[in-house]
Amino acid sequence: MEITEAINHRDGIIALLLSEKLPISDLPSTLKNFLVMTEDKEVTGVVGLETYGSYGLLRSLAVHPDFRRQNIAGKLVEHVEKLAAAEGLKSIFLLTETAPGYFSHKGYKTIPRFEMPAEVQQSSEFSHVCPQSAIAMKKDL
């Protein structure tokens, strides 16, 4: 399995996100800063990073059920954090309904939603895609 840019994997990403009940309506057309893990050209995992000024928004982390417990999510998060650091971002934020414990183990801290930077609050994820019940988290780079 290898991690690659997501540009040629849009259909596989959409299928995986839909199967995991994650939003697809606001996927960027270019999939810039999206990464996939593939096996035999099939998408087994995905993660995205949207940039807003000097901040990143981690989104769309999903792993196909047949490939869980193989540290795919961990490798994808590690790669996206390196990408964010290489772009000079200060912090990564995320919204999650299902995985706050997972992200806590990865060094993310739960924060009140209002503490997310104004730039990140303008994202579609924050403003209307993720419900108000989603937990906001932050990791400084």
> Which of 12, 94, 101, 110 minimizes the C-alpha distance to 61?
94
What is the rounded CA–CA span in Å between residue 97 and residue 56?
Answer: 18
Q: Where are the domains of the chain?
A: 2-140
From the options 3.40.50.300, 3.30.420.40, 3.40.630.30, 3.40.190.10, give the CATH code of 2-140: 3.40.630.30
Distances (CA, A) of 108 to 19, 48, 128: 25, 16, 22
What is the rounded CA–CA span in Å between residue 67 and residue 115?
Answer: 35
Q: What count of Cα atoms within 13 Å lies in the side-chain half-sphere of residue 81?
A: 17
List the chain pLDDT tens, one digit each, 141 residues.
Answer: 889 899 899 999 999 999 998 888 888 888 999 999 998 888 999 999 999 999 999 999 999 999 999 999 999 999 999 999 999 999 999 999 888 999 999 999 999 988 999 888 888 777 655 666 788 999 999
